[in-house]
Structure 1
């Protein structure tokens, strides 16, 4: 029995060539006339809830999106769109989940990252509650007075009103944080050891923050959301 000739679904041209295979092993074709890529008898794959739950967990590990797509057997475009939607709907709380009454002390620090290329530096400003070990504030931007202002505004009101803040000697903190409740200290003091340790955790768990990586962010929005996504998980996983 003869089969119908393969034609482009866009322009109906029969000038078709093979163009590799897609993620599930099916032959991919390309039209020489209009450039359209397609497969024969395409079938929409339904991603079940178990796979989506697994993807949520893998996003919290140091695995690039291409690696996650290979592990769970989904296409990279679908995964990227799914992650974009998840990140867009991710809340940006300006407080912690288990805030306790009493004296509040925070440790603040900044860590270097980039988006697109290393020329586009994006500094991650963090504030960590010493008592609960939760991340109380996050801001991504320049390492300048504006960055310190962004971190300050990300803190819950109760921290801005009464918390004592320990930071390094970066001058931007002096311009923003109240002088009576702000102390600049060196690493040897141990007063910023918790937030410095979290910096290490963040780099180890979020692949786009590794210093030498091919998994860097292409969009600033996703860069910020990926950090928030891990912060949500980190805060929720701390013991009560």
Structure 2
């Protein structure tokens, strides 16, 4: 079976994490859309396994969490009337936890915005840390029981609730722009969180980076995910690239290096090597035996 060389696969993966759509990659590189999709699946599986195994025993002490919205195939309100909507169609929420010091994405969860997903997210985050931390989330109520069940009393937890004003009039600005934030309220929930450190600024900035770096999150385009499985694969690729390959401009190193998870600067060709390491070994062909022809 023919396989793309490392240079071409590296180029395709680089374009994926820089916000190019699948079909634009197919046109620019000169390969079929099926080839691009297959590489995404392979990269997603390899990166998910690497994150699961490697991002462990992190000594983060200040973590911020948030959720970012996207959708698969159709928005929730349009799924009922959509033709041949697959399983997983509708609104999709990505929950992320970022280390405020190293800027490393410690944990992520994909699902709805329910308490069940919040619990899965918090338990996954807990299992990756080694020390007591100060945690800040937004005011989403699902966090309350999830944080308590996962961490018990061994956490300093606060919520940062934003207060928004109303945008007057039926204008384009009202439709496409968020309401103006008129104030914030910091609420200590558990432990003794330091008020000056109660913030969600880093994780919200990371949300912007995600929208810029993944075509599937770009608003008002047709680049949204058509299958939730490919949505997951793109996220897995993006987070490993962000943590281990992309140099943070302020830190002058990758987030994984700043967090002490890695001491090596990686590149995208390294992600290709993760894919190849998971590929089954090719079977050796035996010697050719000429068949005798009997009359």
Instruction: Say which of 164, 180, 193 aligns to 2:134.
Output: 164
Structure 2 equivalent of residue 75 of structure 1: 32
In the TM superposition, 1:1-240 aligns within 5 A as 47-92=4-49, 93-94=51-52, 101=59, 104-119=61-76, 120-157=90-127, 159=129, 162-178=132-148, 181-187=156-162, 188=184, 191-236=199-244, 237=246, 238=248, 239=253, 240=258
Give the deviation of 1:154 after TM superposition.
2.2
Higher relative contact order (CA 8 A, sep 6+): 2
Give the secondary-structure state (helix, strand or coil) at the position aligned to 2:20: coil
Contact persistence 1:109–1:126 (CA under 8 A): yes
- Consecutive unaligned residues of structure 1, counting only runs of 5 or more, are 1-43
Contact persistence 2:56–2:129 (CA under 8 A): no
Give the secondary-structure state (helix, strand or coil) at the position aligned to 2:65: strand
Aligned-partner Cα distance in 2 for 1:165–1:96: 22
Q: Deviations over 1:86-143 (max 9, x none)?
A: 3233334248759764x61100101111111112111110111111110111001110
Structure 2 equivalent of residue 25 of structure 1: none
Contact persistence 2:64–2:99 (CA under 8 A): yes
Give the deviation of 1:157 after TM superposition.
2.4
Give the secondary-structure state (helix, strand or coil) at the position aligned to 1:62: coil
Aligned-partner Cα distance in 2 for 1:96–1:107: 20
Aligned-partner Cα distance in 1 for 2:3–2:212: 32
Contact persistence 1:112–1:121 (CA under 8 A): yes
Aligned-partner Cα distance in 2 for 1:95–1:136: 12
Aligned-partner Cα distance in 1 for 2:208–2:116: 24
Give the secondary-structure state (helix, strand or coil) at the position aligned to 1:184: strand
Alpha-carbon distance change, 122 to 79 in structure 1, aligned in 2, over 3 angstroms: same
Contact persistence 1:69–1:79 (CA under 8 A): yes
TM-score computed with the length of structure 1 as normaliser: 0.73
Alpha-carbon distance change, 86 to 98 in structure 1, aligned in 2, over 3 angstroms: closer
Give the deviation of 1:160 after TM superposition.
7.8
Contact persistence 1:128–1:194 (CA under 8 A): yes
Aligned-partner Cα distance in 2 for 1:210–1:235: 21
Give the secondary-structure state (helix, strand or coil) at the position aligned to 1:146: helix
Count of residue pairs brought into register by the alignment: 196
- Consecutive unaligned residues of structure 2, counting only runs of 5 or more, are 77-89, 163-183, 187-197, 259-295
Aligned-partner Cα distance in 2 for 1:84–1:100: 28
Give the deviation of 1:83 after TM superposition.
2.1
Contact persistence 1:96–1:134 (CA under 8 A): no
